[in-house]
Amino acid sequence: MDYEHAIVKVEGNVATLLCNGCGIFIAEGKEHEDREHYCALCMAGNCKAKFKKGN
């Protein structure tokens, strides 16, 4: 499945869902809902591990 909004890393049969804010692991499975997903720290505005933007 192609994901437009969710950040999903696929390795073999396992799809790992990552936080859209910082990239931390959220869930593992075969398929995920294609929407933005955020970890609890990003939702609270306290996450310090934001994705680094390329130049």
pLDDT digits (tens, 9 = 90+) for 6-28: 999 999 999 999 999 999 999 99
What percentage of the chain carries pLDDT values higher than 90? 73
Judging by beta carbons within 10 Å of its beta carbon (0-12, 13-18, 19+), is residue 14 exposed, middle or buried?
Answer: exposed
Q: Is 32 helix (H, G, I), strand (E, B) or coil?
A: coil
Confidence category of residue 51, pLDDT binned at 50, 70, 90 = low
What does the domain layout of the chain look like in residue ranges?
7-44
List the 14-18 sheet strands across, edge first.
7-11, 14-18, 25-29
